[in-house]
Amino acid sequence: MKLTTDYSFILASESPRRKELFSRLAIPFEVQPAKIDEAVEGELTPEDMAISIAYKKTVPIVERNPNAIVIGADTIVHLGKEVLGKPTSKEQAKEYLKKLSGRTHHVVTGVSIHGAGTSIGFAESTLVKFYELTDEQIDAYVATGDSLDKAGAYGIQTMGVFLVEKIEGDYNNVVGLPISRLFQTLLTLEVIAFDKEWSK
């Protein structure tokens, strides 16, 4: 499979995980991280919150690159009504993991596709269940340093996978970008297409 496009794409994220996932489309793109205030006004659902933040990430990039299509994404972990963001300390990371131990939580990634006359957003949700974790297991995982830059204080693509009993939904969504749904959306918008010459 080979894709073609007449558009330039920019990924508005500094996440190496999102960069790796987006690169699977095998289309040219560049990375321009956006530094924004991620606070949102009003009471929003986790899905709407993730989409709103993802959109905010695209805005300054679109302003600088009016002819590009900019992809923004934001991942939120929530346990019931409680949102568990990126922990600010190892102690907070331990608190988050104790809350998640033995329970099922939601991982929501909001995606914004913005620019070149296009503006659309969607959210993907995945259910993740943790094993019952001992304090020793939590301490050992947090000591690796893997928790501090990740929503919910764990990374399923690294050693955090050993905390996870099962998932329901898109694994890549938990990593940080629901690339399959993004791919289908870009096809529907006709900003990417299959390269007909490639099959000849």
Count of CB atoms situated within 10 Å of the CB of 12? 27
Give the torsion through C-alpha atoms of 70, 156, 145, 58, to 10 deg.
10
- 135 labelled catalytic: no
Q: Give pLDDT, residue 36.
A: 83
Q: Residue 31 pLDDT more than 80?
A: yes
Of the pLDDT bands very low, low, confident and very high (cuts 50, 70, 90), residue 41 is: low
> Distances from the Cα of 153 to the Cαs of 11, 142, 146, in angstroms?
24, 8, 8
pLDDT tens profile 77-105: 999 989 999 999 999 999 999 999 999 99
Q: Residue holding tokens 């508005």?
A: 12
Angle between helices 16-23 and 179-188 in degrees, nearest 10 = 50
Q: Give pLDDT, residue 196.
A: 72
Of the pLDDT bands very low, low, confident and very high (cuts 50, 70, 90), residue 6 is: confident
Of the pLDDT bands very low, low, confident and very high (cuts 50, 70, 90), residue 198 is: low
The angle at the Cα of 183, spanning 24 to 23, to the nearest 5 degrees, equals 20
Taking the domains of the chain in order of start, what are their residue ranges? 3-199
Q: Residue 142 pLDDT more than 90?
A: yes
Higher pLDDT, 21 or 199: 21
The rounded percent of the chain whose pLDDT value lies above 70 is 95
CA 2/CA 197 separation, integer angstroms: 9
Residue-level length of the chain: 200
Of the pLDDT bands very low, low, confident and very high (cuts 50, 70, 90), residue 188 is: very high
Catalytic residue among 6, 74, 149, 195: 74
pLDDT tens profile 124-135: 999 999 999 999
CA 191/CA 185 separation, integer angstroms: 9
Task: Provide the token pair at 121.
Answer: 């957003």
Q: Residue 200 pLDDT more than 60?
A: no
Domain 3-199 CATH assignment equals 3.90.950.10: yes
